[in-house]
A and B are shown apart, each in its own frame.
Chain A
Amino acid sequence: MQLQKNLWVVAMTALAYVGLLSFNQFLFSSFNASAFSSLVFLPSGLGLVCVLLFVEWGSMGMVLGALLMGMGQMYTGDPITVLGAAVLSGLAPLLARALCLRCDAFDENLQGLTASCLLRMTVAFAAVSALLHQVWSVARGQGGDLWGGLALHFTGDVLGALVVLYSAKLVLDRLPQPSRG
């Protein structure tokens, strides 16, 4: 029963990843700015939230979502590169979480998680993700401009995560706060 619930989490995370990445591409292609589509990478925000809530199952969902997109709509003709990049998509938020758990004041139940912790984790996640993906690209001989790619990936992940977090804040601020009385 527990496994079934966790598989449900993986499937839902993967589906949300595919939806957000498709929306990301649609948004920038409709603005004729596909070259800048990596500047705001919305699925990074999803990765952050899912890994904070579901830990390894959220991470697996990210891997599955990235794999589905990489092997389908965004296939580049190199399955090994796609597989590696997909694994890194799930691994990066998990590593950032582990890093923040060691350094920050929040525990595994997110007790003590503050807005500044969340922002620090966003930056840590973007840095880890950009570094891992760039190293993988270089290892697969698709590195190109290393520092440019690193900066673009980092910016995309930070901005994407911020857009998702602030959209969530916008929605939450419009919901009634639970009464304290």
Chain B
Amino acid sequence: MSKTKVANFSQMYTKYLNLVQAVRSLPSFPQLDAVESRMLNVFASAWHEDKPITVLEAMVMLPEISTTTAHRRLKALRKKGMIDLNLDSQDNRVKYVVPTKATHQYFAQLGQCMEKAQAV
């Protein structure tokens, strides 16, 4: 095979690989930053034990971040559809942080990734 031909094939394959990589990394879930993802993980363990989380509790669940940052991240998570807020039936001043359908899908996908990693 001539050198030009090899170079052409190599160039085409590089293009194909780069395009595949870009397509693979198209966003499918809302992009979560490290703090948002950590907050969701902490919430998930409480939700797993059927423990309700009020907004005030949620704001102090990560001691390493300030309450202002936690509040901002809660708003971001809500905007991304990863959490919802439910009013307490007795006291309208109390709001609970609850998971959404997207949250369940997010954790299901993480679970699948874990399973794949274990299988390798």
Taking Cβ atoms with an 8 Å cutoff, the residues of A that contact B are 1-2, 49, 52-53, 106, 109-115, 117-119, 165-166, 168-169, 172-173
Q: Which residues of A contact B27 (CB under 8 A)?
A: 115
For the complex with contacts A115-B25, A118-B23, A168-B23, 18 further pairs of A-B residues with Cβ separation under 8 Å are A2-B4, A49-B19, A52-B19, A53-B12, A53-B15, A53-B16, A109-B14, A110-B19, A110-B22, A112-B18, A113-B21, A114-B22, A115-B22, A115-B23, A117-B22, A118-B26, A172-B20, A173-B24
Tell me whether chain B's interface is mostly helix, strand or loop, or mixed: helix
Most buried by A among B14, B15, B16, B26: B26
Q: Contact at A111–B26, with CB atoms within 8 Å?
A: no
Within 8 A of A (CB), among B14-42: 14-16, 18-28
What is the total number of residues of chain B having a CB less than 8 Å from a CB of chain A? 19
- Among B5, B11, B19, contact of A113 (Cβ-Cβ < 8 Å): B19
Tell me whether chain A's interface is mostly helix, strand or loop, or mixed: helix
Q: Does B45 contact A (CB under 8 A)?
A: no
The closest CB in chain A to the CB of B20 belongs to A172
- Among B5, B20, B25, contact of A114 (Cβ-Cβ < 8 Å): B25
The closest CB in chain B to the CB of A48 belongs to B19
